[in-house]
A and B are shown apart, each in its own frame.
Chain A
Amino acid sequence: MSSLFKNNILLLILLVLGILLSLSLGSVSIPLKVIIKSLLGFSSENSTWEYIIINYRLPKAITALLIGSGLAISGLLMQTLFRNPLAGPYVLGLSSGASLGVALLIMGGSLFYGILGEFIFSKWAIILAASGGSLLVMLAVLSTAQKIKDTMALLIIGLMVASLTSAVVSVLAYFSSSEYLQQYIFWSFGSLGNLSWLEVGILFIGWLVGLGFAVFSLKNLNALLLGENYAKSMGVALKRNRILIIVATSILAGSATAFAGPIAFVGLAVPHLVRQLIPTNNHRILLPSIVLGGAILMLLCDVIAQLPGSESTLPINAVTSIFGAPIVIWLLLRKRKLNF
């Protein structure tokens, strides 16, 4: 227990700092004292600041926290399931499924603009379309996962499904007007803001369920580190376990994509970042640190994306890679070997 504490104390401090930073910085800079006061429920002298914190920045910080950690856990699950350091939350085609759903809604739905009206551009419609697309891909992958013996074949199937769906998106895009195309592109940049408390609540429920599945499969994930034959010889029901892991990933990455768009980098990178800092593959040690690491990275990226002091924001999907990739490269160069 003490080592668990020791490993994570620094991350925990960073997380708190990250939350405070993301609450304080933005187009309007709010002093820390006011933030702490309004978080503790004291009313402050400036009600605009309080309104911004409670209704805009706090939900956004929580969204970043949930999405960063959720994607990082999915990345870990996929990397272990496929025994592949290149695997991430989207290897099974979840994000392309979501993209297809949204593309169909925005670009296909524009044909029925008269009937559906403004609904197709509402947030809920996009969330539903993205979840629907992810769900469909997940069901397709699950049904093959039941038949297939070789886990690696599943990885290839996931990649094929992904390229199939993105091809359909390309065709749709080709026939769309620039206005709708732009709508779609904006969605694909990803965004952490604009979530109401209700939506944050739904995201939280998905996160909690996915995390529950992940914790439930911790023991078997460790057994999988020895390879499937060893795992089976120790009583792991391989197929059931595989399905459990896929469902956990789908819920975590699927809900993240539905609410914030396809954010690529975090899920792949955070498990590697954490493994470089804590050289182990023991999932019972890794998981808490990866939850914290994902949340921290996402929060920091969000702060950067806000361009403190300016009115404009950068697309979060680009920021995660622009600032995250050099860190991963730097860590790998410093240690000179991949801890996997």
Chain B
Amino acid sequence: MSVESNYENILLSAISLSIGYKDKRNEICIVKSIDFKISTGELVAVIGTNGSGKSTLLKSLSGQIPMLAGEVKIKNQSLEQLSNKNLGAYLSLVLTNEVVSKQLSVKELVALGRHPYTNWLGHLSQEDVVKVNQALSQVDLIPKKDKLCNALSDGQFQKVLIARALAQDTPLILMDEPTTHLDMFHKAQILQLLKSVVKTSQKSILFASHEINLSLQLCDKIILIDRSKIHFGSPQELIDKGAFEHLFPNDLIYFDVKSQTFKMKLNDS
């Protein structure tokens, strides 16, 4: 593989990026000097403790909040130079804490993903309908497409939101904790779905998650945020580096290298 083609493959890169919040008076930096490169077709988990800056990172990458320093490039274009309108063709979002109207049919909600491509009235073209149906079949929701979203379970609704992002047809999908509120089975099901999406459709997915154990088994790359520092690499690379060993206070939860999972320390043993 030549250097050239490797360069082409890089979809998203952060170069000495600083993220945080700023207003007129002061600037609160949460994580500094973030560097990573994500290629097409990779499933990447952003992992960190509560308040470590996972959501802040996603918001910065999606242009919802300005970055403090550094640069983010999508397909070799600087994020800051992309207009709001064009950005919709590069990245799509799956957000968990957004209040979404469920008074729409599954098909209608997924079709909203075609927003950047439809005419001024939002009329769906033949191509749009095809893409919507593709997205629905990717998440196995064709039988439910005419149901109101109100009538769906949490896990199914999460799939609808993922299908909406797929219908937006962007090379990159950012997800903020796509598996919260779901039981273990449905968590695994959603993550499995994400894996199959990146495998079959040449998209990359970057998702923030608390599911460390599942993510270690499934993801191609991990972005670990640990006390304002970034560790980036494949799960094995990070395990070999010992990056997980001090993520949580060791008196309660420890990282078991043999099984590559976090375990609880039991007092009586």
The answer to whether A and B assemble together is: yes
Task: Give the interface segment out of A33-41, A105-113, A136-144, A220-228.
Answer: A220-228
Residues of A within 8 A of B115 (CB): 219, 222-223, 234-236
- B168, CB-defined interface residue at 8 Å: yes
**Minimum CB distance partner of A226 in chain B:** B100
Chain A residues within 8 Å of B64, by CB = 229, 232-233
Interface check B101, CB cutoff 8 A: yes
Task: Give a binary string over A186-220; 1 marks a CB under 8 Å from any B CB, 0 the rest.
Answer: 00000000000000000000000000000110110
Kindly specify which of B28-36, B37-45, B116-124 makes contact with the partner chain. B116-124
Q: Tell me whether A230 and B103 are in contact (CB under 8 A).
A: no
Question: Are A226 and B103 touching (Cβ within 8 A)?
Answer: no
CB distance from A240 to the nearest CB of B (A): 10
The A-contacting residues of B in range 94-108, CB under 8 angstroms, are 95, 98-101, 103-105, 108
Give the contacting residue for B103; candidates A223, A237, A279; CB below 8 A.
A279
Residues of chain A at interface, number, CB under 8 A: 26
- Among A215, A218, A223, A230, chain B packs the most CB atoms within 10 A around the CB of A230
- Contacting pair B101 A233 (CB below 8 A): no
Bound state CA distance, A216 and B109, in angstroms? 20
List A258-298 residues whose CB lies under 8 Å from chain B.
275, 279-282, 284
Contact present for B87 and A222 (CB under 8 Å): no
- Cα(A218)–Cα(B112), bound, Å: 12
Q: Does A313 contact B (CB under 8 A)?
A: no
Annotate B56-84 by CB proximity to A: 1 below 8 A, 0 otherwise: 00000010100000000000000000001
In the bound assembly, the distance between CA atoms of A226 and B157 in angstroms comes to 13
User: How far does the Cβ of B149 sit from chain A's closest Cβ, in whole Å?
Assistant: 10
Q: Report B13 CB to chain A, min CB distance, Å.
A: 20
Residue of A nearest to B89 (CB): A235
B103–A280 contact, CB under 8 A? yes
| In contact, A218 and B104 (Cβ under 8 angstroms) | no
In this assembly, does B215 line the interface, its C-beta being within 8 Å of a C-beta of chain A? no
Residues from chain A with a CB closer than 8 A to the CB of B86 are 235
Q: B100 contacts A282, CB within 8 Å?
A: no
Nearest chain B CB to A316 CB, angstrom units: 31
Q: Can you report 19 A-B residue pairs in the complex whose CB atoms are below 8 A from each other?
A: A215-B121, A219-B115, A219-B121, A222-B122, A225-B103, A225-B104, A227-B99, A229-B95, A232-B84, A233-B87, A233-B88, A233-B91, A234-B88, A234-B113, A234-B116, A234-B168, A237-B85, A281-B101, A282-B104
> Assuming A235-B86, A235-B87, A236-B115, what are 11 further A-B pairs, CB within 8 angstroms?
A83-B99, A222-B115, A227-B98, A229-B64, A229-B95, A232-B64, A234-B92, A234-B115, A237-B85, A279-B148, A280-B148
